Amino acid sequence: MSTSFRAREIADNVYWVGAIDWELEEFHGYATPRGTTYNAYLILADKITLIDTVKAKYTDELLARISSVVHPSRIDYIVSNHAEMDHTGALPKLLDIVQPEAVYASPKGVQALELHYGGEMNLVGVKDGDTLSLGNMQLQFMLTSMVHWPDSMFSFLDHGKLLFSNDAFGMHVASSALWADELEPGLIHEETKNYYANILWPTSRAVGKTLKGLEKAGIEPDIILPDHGPGCRKDLDMVLKWYADWSEGVKDPKRAVILFDTMWGSTALMARAIADGLIEGGMNVSMLPMAKTERAHVAMECLDASLLLVGSPTLNGGMFPSIADALTYISGLNPGKPRIKGGVFGSYGWSGGLYKKLAAQLDDMGVDIAQDPQSVQYVPKADDLAACREYGLVLASEE
Ligand code: FEO
């Protein structure tokens, strides 16, 4: 076992024993250029307890960090807030060494852990509101189904009012900082939003229910410790407000997203003219050329936009592959709940049938097509671009 890794005290008698993944580039389809962390927390109570583990490849690092504080065999309990393998990959090897009295998880977590790793784990299912005495401290469990998987739950430690929130309130940022307030505020907002859009947006109803559940359970944390990215000890209200707004589908009436690709530059010219009209009409526009935009970034930009415009050249009678990729990805995130406004545009060669189909696809995604599609054969002329500009102006006036 490596001895070069140390635990870091994050609160009184609570240690961060996770792993920093500086190299992660992608998390099931979501680009993560800033990497991530897999946070695990060791509570030195009378009953020594480990909250979550790490991805399998970092098992030895986790064990080394634990060993810098206590021998792993002294751990009494393990709590698994979520069965996904970024938090449980280390569990099988850890169990051989630790042999805890029990592994606590939600009932669906028990099922998921059995399905992932087999059943020899001393698994104990906990119900919403159950408490677990650690002797001089106490944990309270809160089931948070679909934040992010059916099995997900929170654990709240009375000592220091620490909320171990697993995926919720996390972000994919690899950093030596233990706390969000040690990083740039702009980065924190961007990456919290990015994470919400790509991981939690499809289950926003469950997020809203969870926020209300915290109030109902009387859980008022002083510190939130997620399993990805830094912890939050300041500005908790701000982060909770972001989550409340995103989960309720609050949109910025002045934000428009134009995602487009182009074959010979025609659709790009149309996109620029439409953007100019939108800007003239008072909108803030995010232009997303898909030749160089990650689909995860599209999701983040769409999260609070009130207008979505999609531009594609016609290729073999269909849309450009990059546009199909982006739409397939974001349609799974339920971008049209609640419904927003949008439009489609693009250039074609000999068949202009794509744009009605594209409009119908957006409508299925929950995007109301406010105006007829703008399409141009081959190359837009000055009057075509003037029409695109007017199109943008009209869409802006409807916001
Ligand atoms: Fe970080 Fe749903 O796993």
| Distance, CA of 39 to CA of 54 (rounded, Å) | 7
Buried b (16+ CB within 10 A) or exposed e, 346-371: bbbeeeeebbeebbebbeebbbebeb
Q: How far is the CA of 151 from the centre of ligand 1 (A)?
A: 11
Rounded to two decimals, what is the model's pTM? Answer: 0.96
Q: How far is the CA of 75 from the centre of ligand 1 (A)?
A: 23
Across all residues in the chain, what is the average pLDDT? 96
If you take atom 1 of ligand 1, which residue's CA is the nearest one? 167
Q: What is the pLDDT of residues 124-157, one digit of tens each?
A: 999 999 999 999 999 999 999 999 999 999 999 9
Classify residue 202 as exposed, middle or buried by CB count within 10 Å of its CB (0-12, 13-18, 19+): middle
Three-state SS across the chain?
Answer: CCCCCCCEEEECCEEECCEEECCCCEECCEECCCCEEECCEEECCCCCEEECCCCHHHHHHHHHHHHCCCCHHHCCEEECCCCCHHHHCCHHHHHHHHCCCEEEECHHHHHHHHHHHCCCCCEEECCCCCEEECCCCEEEEEECCCCCCCCCEEEEECCCCEEEEECCCCCCCCCCCCEHHHCCHHHHHHHHHHHHHHHHHHHHHHHHHHHHHHHHCCCCCCEEEECCCCEECCCHHHHHHHHHHHHHCCCEEEEEEEEECCCCCHHHHHHHHHHHHHHHCCCEEEEEECCCCCHHHHHHHHCCEEEEEEECCCECCECCHHHHHHHHHHHCCCCCCCCEEEEEEEEECCCCCHHHHHHHHHHHCCEEECCCCEEEECCCCHHHHHHHHHHHHHHHHCC
Right CATH for 8-248 from 1.20.120.80, 3.40.50.1980, 3.40.50.170, 3.60.15.10:
3.60.15.10
**pLDDT > 90 in the chain, percent:** 94
Block residue for tokens 């949109």: 251
Domain residue ranges of the chain, discontinuous segments joined by +: 8-248, 256-397
**Confidence at residue 132, expressed as pLDDT on a 0 to 100 scale:** 98
Domain 256-397 class in CATH: alpha beta
Q: Is 172 in the pocket of ligand 1 (CB under 6 A)?
A: no
**Confidence at residue 336, expressed as pLDDT on a 0 to 100 scale:** 81
Q: Is 167 in the pocket of ligand 1 (CB under 6 A)?
A: yes
If you take atom 3 of ligand 1, which residue's CA is the nearest one? 84
Q: Is 151 in the pocket of ligand 1 (CB under 6 A)?
A: no
| Distance, CA of 154 to CA of 267 (rounded, Å) | 47
- Taking the CA of residue 227 as reference, the ligand 1 atom at the shortest distance is 1
Q: Flag whether pLDDT at 258 surpasses 70.
A: yes
Q: What is the pLDDT of residues 285-337, one digit of tens each?
A: 999 999 999 999 999 999 999 999 999 999 999 999 999 999 999 999 988 88
Q: Is 149 in the pocket of ligand 1 (CB under 6 A)?
A: yes
353 with 240: CB under 8 angstroms? no
- Taking the CA of residue 170 as reference, the ligand 1 atom at the shortest distance is 1
**Confidence at residue 399, expressed as pLDDT on a 0 to 100 scale:** 76
- Taking the CA of residue 148 as reference, the ligand 1 atom at the shortest distance is 2
Q: How far is the CA of 168 from the centre of ligand 1 (A)?
A: 9
Residue type, 152: S
Helix axes 382-397, 266-280, angle to 10 degrees: 40
Q: Is 227 in the pocket of ligand 1 (CB under 6 A)?
A: yes
Q: Is 148 in the pocket of ligand 1 (CB under 6 A)?
A: yes
Q: Is 52 in the pocket of ligand 1 (CB under 6 A)?
A: no
**Confidence at residue 29, expressed as pLDDT on a 0 to 100 scale:** 84
Q: Is 21 in the pocket of ligand 1 (CB under 6 A)?
A: no
**291 Rama sector, left if φ>0, alpha if ψ -120 to 50, beta otherwise:** alpha
Q: How far is the CA of 3 from the centre of ligand 1 (A)?
A: 27
Q: What is the pLDDT of residues 5-47, one digit of tens each?
A: 999 999 999 999 999 999 999 998 899 999 999 999 999 999 9
Q: What is the pLDDT of residues 98-117, one digit of tens each?
A: 999 999 999 999 999 999 99
**Confidence at residue 334, expressed as pLDDT on a 0 to 100 scale:** 85
Active site residues: 28, 82, 84, 86, 148, 167, 195, 228
Q: How far is the CA of 189 from the centre of ligand 1 (A)?
A: 19
Mean pLDDT of the 165-193 span: 97
Mean pLDDT of the 67-89 span: 98
Q: Flag whether pLDDT at 3 surpasses 70.
A: no
Question: How many alpha carbons fall within 13 Å on the CB side of residue 353?
Answer: 5
134 with 45: CB under 8 angstroms? yes
**Confidence at residue 90, expressed as pLDDT on a 0 to 100 scale:** 98
- Taking the CA of residue 149 as reference, the ligand 1 atom at the shortest distance is 2
Q: Flag whether pLDDT at 120 surpasses 90.
A: no
Written as six digits, the tokens of 209 are: 């229910």
Q: Flag whether pLDDT at 395 surpasses 70.
A: yes
Q: What is the pLDDT of residues 183-226, one digit of tens each?
A: 999 999 999 999 999 999 999 999 999 999 999 999 999 999 99
Q: How far is the CA of 95 from the centre of ligand 1 (A)?
A: 20
- Taking the CA of residue 85 as reference, the ligand 1 atom at the shortest distance is 3
**Confidence at residue 398, expressed as pLDDT on a 0 to 100 scale:** 86
363 with 341: CB under 8 angstroms? no
Q: How far is the CA of 89 from the centre of ligand 1 (A)?
A: 11
Block residue for tokens 């020899």: 120
17 with 40: CB under 8 angstroms? yes
